[in-house]
Each structure stands twice: as C-alpha cells, then as structure tokens.
Copies of this chain bind each other. A is one copy, B any other.
Amino acid sequence: MKKIINNPDRALQEMVEGIAAAYPNEVKQLPETTVIVRKDAPVSNKVGIVSGGGSGHEPAHAGYIGKGMLDAAVSGEVFTSPTPDQVLEAIKAVDSGKGVFLVIKNYTGDVINFDMAAELAEAEGIEVEKVVVNDDVAVEDSSFTTGRRGIAGTVFVHKIAGAIAEQGGSLQEVKAVAEKVVENVRSMGMALTSCIVPAAGKPSFQLEDNEMEIGIGIHGEPGIERKEMATAHEIAKELTEKVLNDRDFSGSDVAVMVNGLGATPEMELYIVNKSVQEILKEKGIKVYKTFVGEYMTSLEMAGCSVSLLKLDDEIKSLLNAESSAPAFRI
C-alpha cells in the first residue's frame, strides 16, 4: 500500500484538520470532533442541513458545506459510520431553533447512528427530520444495506435541500423537497479497480486486467456482475439503460451527473459523458444541466457512476440557486 498519509489511525483526524485549515473563513471544526460546520453556524432562522457518513468519499461531505448547501458534515473512519454522539454534536451546532434536517445515505450503520442522534437531539428539544437516499439501482439489498444503497445522487439532495433551507423553507418544506429528489434520482456505477482502505492496507477485492465490475457501491464492496472489460460507449450504455429502466424519465428534463470514483482521469469521464448524452438524446430525454467530475468517491477506485435526476420547475430553480460550497459552487 502506498498512500500519502502519516498513520492510518490518524488519517481521519488529520484530514478533518486539513479541511478546516483550507477554508478558515468558511468553515470550522467542532473541537475534539470530526465534525465540520459552516463558520457562521447556526445560521439564524434557517433549517440546519447535516450530512455525513464514513470518510473516503471526498469531496463528500465536507466539500459541500457552504451557503446554499450543507451546514455540517460528520465524518467517520474510512467507510465507517460516524458515532451518534458526533452526529449529535453536528445537529446541536447548526440548530437555530428552526430544526435540523439530516441527509443520510442508505447504509445500515449510518441509518442507525443518525437515527439515534436524532432521538438524542429531540430529547434535548431540537426538532429533527431526515431523508434516506437510496439512488443506486444496482442492488435491492447489499452487504451493507437493507434496501438500495445511497451513492452519488445524494449530492443532488444536498444541493436541493440546502437551497430551499437557505431560502427560508421550513423543516417540513425541506423534507418534502428532499423526498421529491430522492424519488426522482437514480444512479448506477462500475469499477475497473478496487480501492485500499488505509487501515486494511490491501485492496478490498481484485480485478484482472481484462475485467470490470458492474453495479459497484462506494465502500469497496463487490458489485453485481464481473465481466470482460468493455468500451466507454458500452459502459455508458449499460449504466444509463439500467437507470432508465428503473424509472420513467420520458418527457421530462433531467440533470446528469457523470461521477468519477477517485482514480479515473477526467478525460475518461468526458468520453463517457459524450455517450450518455447521445443515449439520452436518442430516447428523447432532454438534458437541462450536466455535472462531470469527482463528487462522491471511493478513495482511489477507478470507475464511474451515472446519475439522472428528473426535474420540475421547483427542482430546477433550487438546483440553480447560489451555492458557495468549495466542491459545488454555483
């Protein structure tokens, strides 16, 4: 294992300190936690938006902290849920009295720990609501979830929920629009390589030089099918069609996200995007906005995912609203 770290046991803490040190005017680290919050938290008379999960998905989630997006991000160890007390600290730090909304990716550990934190916060008099994102169409249940996994589509939930909160939406309004995004977003991913969790020191699985894995998650868990390496167009077709087969996107405008999992050159993501756009055009689906880059990664995994979000006027307007988050500026 070659990694630019000091010690696997300190990687999480040092990363969080490195994030706080990068944006001292925008964010702050809560003392003795791995929680990063907006510098001006709690923002008065605004619903606080909290997300997080295991680390290793950067820029998710701390890169999405900013005006118009998240108020706090809680990081656990790599691919490991943060503990309820850490999530509780985040909730308390961003509550202005208008309530706190949790965006949870559907992984069993995250769901349990965020739920427990919500209960603890409610016991302290803070109103908490949540949404569980399950955009991955690859599997119904996985090694780490009951039901579908939450992957790159989660970033759209951060953006939209953050925008309506910034505009003064109530906790129930934030919840309603976040649920609408979850209903309307689907994703599918693939990998060329595994990734190496620092504490494990070796790849989570092995792929041969002529193999790829379809339906991959973002925690180094295996996908649904190992097959022979294909062309970019075939890969784009397989991912996009799996998404389109899962939900009726016809007649609607969509937002597209072609997401890199960590080690895939942006050149390759744009080649995939070319095919994704062609496929959507053939099907008569109109693309309103496209995002290409690394939004939800799995350490240094090579691979990509394709997400589609079905839009209406409300979602379009919130998607276009200002965001000052370092990893999602609009």
A residues with a Cβ closer than 8 A to B are 1-7, 11, 14-19, 21-23, 55-56, 58-59, 63, 78, 192-193, 209-210, 212, 229, 231-233, 235, 258, 262-274, 277, 290-294, 297, 299-300, 302-304, 326-327, 329-330
- Closest chain B residue to A268 by CB distance? B4
A235 to chain B, nearest CB (A): 6
Q: A300's contact among B23, B263, B294, by CB below 8 Å, is which?
A: B263
A266-B59, A290-B21, A292-B22 known; A5-B232 Cβ under 8 A: yes
CB <8 Å contact, B18 and A271: yes
Of the listed residues A2, A264, A270, the one surrounded by the most CB atoms of chain B closer than 10 A to its CB is: A270
Given known A-B contacts A18-B274, A274-B18, A231 and B265 have beta carbons under 8 A apart:
no
**Distance between Cα atoms of A18 and B274 in the complex (Å):** 4
Nearest to A58 among chain B residues (CB) is B266
- Nearest CB on B from A234, distance (A): 9
Q: A4-B272, A5-B271, A300-B302 are in contact. List 14 more A-B contacts (CB 8 A).
A: A1-B209, A2-B229, A3-B192, A5-B232, A6-B232, A14-B270, A14-B274, A21-B273, A21-B274, A22-B273, A22-B290, A58-B266, A264-B300, A265-B300
Q: In the complex the two chains form, what is the Cα distance from A294 to B268 in whole Å?
A: 15
Please, which residues of chain B bring their CB within 8 A of the CB of A59?
Answer: 266, 293
Bound together, the chains give a CA A272 to CA B6 distance in angstroms of: 9
A232 in complex: contacting residue of B4, B58, B235, CB < 8 Å = B4
In the bound complex, CA of A4 to CA of B306 (Å): 13
A80 to chain B, nearest CB (A): 13
Residues of B within 8 A of A5 (CB): 231-232, 268, 271
User: Are B2 and A267 interface neighbours, CB within 8 A?
Assistant: no
A271 touches B6 (CB 8 A): yes
The answer to whether A2 touches B271 (Cβ under 8 A) is no
Residue numbers in B under 8 Å from A1 (CB-CB): 209
Cα distance, A125 to B258, chains bound together (Å): 42
Give 8 nearest A-B pairs by CB, closest first: A18-B270, A58-B266, A329-B329, A18-B274, A263-B263, A4-B268, A18-B273, A21-B277
Complexed CA–CA distance, A265 and B198 (Å): 11
Contact assessment for A267 and B330 in the assembled complex, using a CB-CB cutoff below 8 Å: no
Least CB separation from A25: chain B residue:
B289
Distance between Cα atoms of A326 and B294 in the complex (Å): 13
Contacts of A23 in B (CB 8 A): 290
Contact B274 A192 (CB under 8 A): no
Chain B's nearest CB lies how many Å from the CB of A129?
29
Bound complex: CA of A269 vs CA of B21, how far in Å?
12
Give complex CA distance A167, B288 in Å.
Answer: 30
**Set B4, B270, B272, B277: member contacting A192, Cβ < 8 A:** B4
B265 touches A19 (CB 8 A): no
**Distance between Cα atoms of A327 and B293 in the complex (Å):** 9
**CB atoms of A2 and B302 under 8 A apart:** yes
CB proximity of A326 to chain B, nearest CB, Å: 8
Pick the residue among B210, B229, B267, B303 that contacts A58 (CB under 8 A).
B267
Most buried by B among A3, A55, A63: A3
Decide if B209 touches A265 in the complex (CB within 8 Å). Answer: no
